[in-house]
Structure 1
Amino acid sequence: MKRIHVGTSAPKYQSGKWTWEEKTQSLRFQPYSDLEDANERFIDTNGFKFLRTINQEEELIFRQVFARPITSYDGDTVVLNDVRDLVLFMMPHEFLSTMFVEFMHRPAVHRLLHALIIYFEHFLRMVEFLLIRRDELAGNMAQVQSEQTNELKRIFSCNLSHFRMLVARNYSLIVMGESDMQKFYHTKPVVNISSTIKDRGFHEHFLAVATQIIWITMHRRAYFIIEMEMNRLFRSEHFLMNRTQYPNFSTVERSLLYGRNSKIFNCRVQNSPMIQELQHVADEDMPILWIGERRYRGNDQRIASVEMEYLIPEAQLHLVDISHGILGHPKNLYNTILSLDWPSVRFANYSEQHDPFNLLRQPSIKLPNINELQMRKMAKQYDQFYKVFRIYETFSHQTLSNWKNRDNIINYYCSGGILKNIYVRCEEQLTTVEERPDVAKIVTNYFDVIFRLRKKKESNMTFAGYKKKGTDYFFN
């Protein structure tokens, strides 16, 4: 029988239904114990069934075994690793392999997912803008478009292509097997033969997981638009599924969303839209390819804003009033499956004047200067000799082992295993005699952890550190 203490182990996400009891004349909440037949149990992504919700037993197992510990850096804030761990817990069994789990924990994959989140944040805003403009231009009270409106649309399209270039840059490094991604390269090192079937399955799994990560990060909205655009980016339009839920865009709307570099050729010679962005890069956009690698030095305000949005850590986005979905929000405002808990938001007393996390305000598109494209062509560029370096929390072998044996761990605890939280461990230590470290050792270990976290925090005071000719510079 499970020993689960009501306290820190109490479920945050209540999955069930309310029923009326005639005897007590009151409502009673019945939690789901088995969701196999429930309609809300699964969601289909590219032909794979991901869990849409979890029951209370699975929630307790996830929080105590698989979730990111509170002792990690920014443990009280929702970051990309939290969303990744949740999706890994909800993904199908056939995804569980040592190679794939290790791939999802690599820094290069983290940078790709981070760039995808930024891109879809702006892409969904552009889709909403197009749908509003479609309604304004239709009907008897249709508005007349001016040349300035068309010029603003061209600027919006160019700005969206900048984030698409960041995604393409990070994805190309993975495809080419640069640095630590050589292990996941699709060809064998000696015979130089591609593992086509294995690589295709690996790519399908990553694409499905990335779609789920983006969807959860974007507050679980616009799922079919995210799925359609994700498949278009990585596959091209020849391989899009014909689903009635996908929106239909006109030729003008497609040119605005997909950019001027998007071309459709025969399927045998077609490149993905990301590769097309890298094949035709304007001279004034070349510094974008170095964002995250070298510090930009110039007076182009557009590149400086893209660099700031890309380099700022998730936990510090609210300091510059930038929204990337749920990233950077306090974790106490969300339940275990990272759905917003509106009662917690109401108790936080946010308002239109005090809304640092964009929970009440609607994220919108800022109107640029009408002559922004001409000004960017006249911008000056200087020599770049500051190298940006990033800090990542390393993963342990125990973490990979837990994810690989995820189903076995869940079955063990669901069949009678004991979830030992802090209360159960304290009870066992009081009743049993075991060798314990002395107080001085405990205090030393505590200060080691605090020093490690403070050191990371100091090195991330702004958004990055810069390295010049072997000397480290920290801008605090």
Structure 2
Amino acid sequence: MNRIHVTNSEPKYQSGKWSWDDKGDALHFEQHFDLEHADERYMDTNGYQFLRTLNPTEEVIFRKKFVRPHTTYDTDTVVINDVRDLVLFLMPKEFLSKKFLSLIHQPAVHRLIHSLIIYFEYFLRMVEFTLIRRDELACKMAQVQSEQTNEMKRIFSTHLRQYRMLVARNYCMIISGEGDLKKFYHTKEIVNISSKIKDRALHEQLLAVLIQIVWITMHRRAYFIIEMEMNRLFRSEHFLMNRKEYIKFTPVERSLLFGRNYKIFNYRVQCSPLIQDLKHVDHEDMPLLWIGERKYRGSDHRIAEVELEYIVPGPQLHLIDVSHGILGHPKKLYNTILSLDWPSVRYANFSEENDPYYIIRQPNLRIPNINEMHVRKLSQIFEHNFKIFRIYEECTPKMLMNWSNREQILEGYQDGISLLDIAKRFEQQLADEEGKRKISAIVADFSQVTHKMRKKKISIVPSDSDEMGGTDELLFAKEGDDYFFKS
């Protein structure tokens, strides 16, 4: 008999707002799903209505049917798949096509989401730095900027452009339509006729989901900045909406944030900023295009720093003292919709000296060396000896079917047994699952999970690769890590 997970069968939090009741002369809690105004339950993202919160019934259904199972890697920490699953549950029902669901679960899209999170983590810090500097220059005691300050800003802009290059590289792997992504390509092979309407709908839906994923990962802050920059990256400024919430940057601030390669042409010949950065890659930045594909060997400290930040899995980011939003944080600090549960944070007793997840500390920009650009041009690149292979947990066909039938599952649970009546629900579950599974099947599942989570020993296996001259291969990693090396 299956073990019943009580923690997945009851609501975790109550979402709503407090108001004063004049008749009762007391505070009254009004839940979000009972509010009259729909804008407090939904939010608009590129013209699509995403849920802002969940009611208790929806929360129980989500945790029971759609949450990442406990047999996957690092179930006690927040990873990209957790945020993606939450956004898939919050997105409108017109997104629930098999083609889009299959696309969003592709490894190439997972790598694009990963690079976007790294980019926006640094971009939001740069925007904050720009706004603070704007206020400093606008006051009466403003100081004239020195040449060292301008050089530091150029270095900051170069660092931001390097993260943008990673996004551009991963995005080009998707739009090229090669390998597993060939079935999503908009042009048919023989007749070369483009399905513009279908491709546009797929692009709009993917862009809206990416905005939601990055926004939730960034602690749900600076939504309009994320939306504006995401649309600029993938569309260009010709197609940006004119919203009052968007920040207007000066030409100097634009050159700092958007980089030196960003040019505005006529909309007929305009290409996206991502492609513009790939067209003008400096010689010392060329190894960036191989990050995540092969191990970097060289003396450029900046390339090694970006590679370390990119290939280290989310649950191990605190070991290198790096913050990527909520990735790698313990799940016990967050509720179902991945918002911080402040009572749990207080019980964790974090402080400025003991804060591995940057919950108390403020993420900041590291002041670079003034001669960093000159030193990087003198760096050397050696022949690579290791290729990096990724381990990606694919979504099972059963889970894809659940996402396709999300609306039917919601209706079925709401029309059937009450999810909030715990006693009746457990009685029904015991009656349905009695005698279905045998002990041998339970033991086999347990052995499979323990074998999957067990660390692999270092082993040297003869390699048949002609490219490396028939050398041996050295595998070293925990089997659940995102990357391991192969010579």
Tell me the TM-score normalized by structure 2. 0.90
Q: Which structure 2 residues correspond to residues 58-69 of structure 1 after superposition, within 5 A?
A: 58-69=58-69
Structure 1 residue 49 and structure 2 residue 55: aligned? no
Q: CA–CA distance in 2 between the matches of 1:5 and 1:455?
A: 27
1:222 is matched by which residue type in structure 2? A
> Per-residue displacement from partner, 1:425-449 (whole Å, max 9, x unpaired)?
8745866895455535422321211
2:296 is matched by which residue type in structure 1? Y
**Residue in 1 that maps onto 2:260:** 260
Q: 1:437 to 1:398 in 2, by over 3 A?
A: closer
Q: 1:457 to 1:31 in 2, by over 3 A?
A: farther
Q: Which structure 2 residues correspond to residues 25-424 of structure 1 after superposition, within 5 A?
A: 29=29, 31-34=31-34, 37-417=37-417, 419=419
Contact 1:33 1:56 (8 Å CA) reproduced: no
Contact 1:5 1:424 (8 Å CA) reproduced: no
> Per-residue displacement from partner, 1:125-180 (whole Å, max 9, x unpaired)?
00000011111111211012100000000000011000000000000010001221
What is the number of equivalent residue pairs in this alignment? 466
Deviation at 1:27, TM superposition (A): 5.5
Deviation at 1:416, TM superposition (A): 2.4
Q: 1:372 to 1:7 in 2, by over 3 A?
A: closer
**Residue in 2 that maps onto 1:463:** none
Contact 1:13 1:337 (8 Å CA) reproduced: no
SS in 2 for 1:39: helix
Contact 1:34 1:55 (8 Å CA) reproduced: no
SS in 1 for 2:410: helix
**Residue in 2 that maps onto 1:464:** none
Deviation at 1:395, TM superposition (A): 1.1
Across the aligned residues of Structure 1 and Structure 2, the Cα RMSD in angstroms comes to: 2.7
Contact 1:79 1:314 (8 Å CA) reproduced: yes
Q: CA–CA distance in 2 between the matches of 1:241 and 1:22?
A: 42
Deviation at 1:396, TM superposition (A): 1.1
Contact 1:119 1:163 (8 Å CA) reproduced: yes
> Per-residue displacement from partner, 1:72-120 (whole Å, max 9, x unpaired)?
1111101000110111111111111000001000000000000000000
Relative contact order, higher structure (CA 8 A, sep 6+): 1
Deviation at 1:418, TM superposition (A): 5.6
Deviation at 1:24, TM superposition (A): 9.4
Q: CA–CA distance in 1 between the matches of 2:112 and 2:125?
A: 20
Q: 1:149 to 1:202 in 2, by over 3 A?
A: same
Contact 2:231 2:240 (8 Å CA) reproduced: yes
Deviation at 1:408, TM superposition (A): 1.2
Contact 2:332 2:344 (8 Å CA) reproduced: yes
1:40 is matched by which residue type in structure 2? E
> Per-residue displacement from partner, 1:249-276 (whole Å, max 9, x unpaired)?
1111000001111111111111100000
**Residue in 2 that maps onto 1:474:** 476
**Residue in 1 that maps onto 2:462:** none
Q: Compare 383-392 and 101-110 and name the one that shifted more.
A: 383-392
> Per-residue displacement from partner, 1:308-353 (whole Å, max 9, x unpaired)?
0010101110111100001100001111111111111001000010
Q: CA–CA distance in 1 between the matches of 2:28 and 2:311?
A: 48
Q: 1:269 to 1:219 in 2, by over 3 A?
A: same
1:471 is matched by which residue type in structure 2? E
Q: 1:391 to 1:24 in 2, by over 3 A?
A: same
Q: CA–CA distance in 2 between the matches of 1:471 and 1:296?
A: 17
Q: CA–CA distance in 2 between the matches of 1:426 and 1:454?
A: 33
Gaps of 5+ in 2: 460-466, 479-487
Deviation at 1:415, TM superposition (A): 1.9
Identity %: 63
Q: CA–CA distance in 2 between the matches of 1:61 and 1:153?
A: 49
Deviation at 1:450, TM superposition (A): 1.6
Q: Compare 178-187 and 96-105 and name the one that shifted more.
A: 178-187
1:281 is matched by which residue type in structure 2? V
1:12 is matched by which residue type in structure 2? K
Deviation at 1:28, TM superposition (A): 6.0
Q: 1:350 to 1:422 in 2, by over 3 A?
A: same
Deviation at 1:25, TM superposition (A): 8.1
Deviation at 1:211, TM superposition (A): 0.4
Deviation at 1:8, TM superposition (A): 4.3
Q: 1:449 to 1:36 in 2, by over 3 A?
A: farther
Q: 1:444 to 1:420 in 2, by over 3 A?
A: farther
2:476 is matched by which residue type in structure 1? F
Q: Compare 118-127 and 384-393 and name the one that shifted more.
A: 384-393
Q: CA–CA distance in 2 between the matches of 1:443 and 1:422?
A: 28
Tell me the TM-score normalized by structure 1. 0.92
> Per-residue displacement from partner, 1:52-84 (whole Å, max 9, x unpaired)?
111111111111011112221111101000110
Contact 2:77 2:331 (8 Å CA) reproduced: yes
Contact 2:32 2:53 (8 Å CA) reproduced: no
1:319 is matched by which residue type in structure 2? L
Contact 1:64 1:421 (8 Å CA) reproduced: no
SS in 1 for 2:454: helix
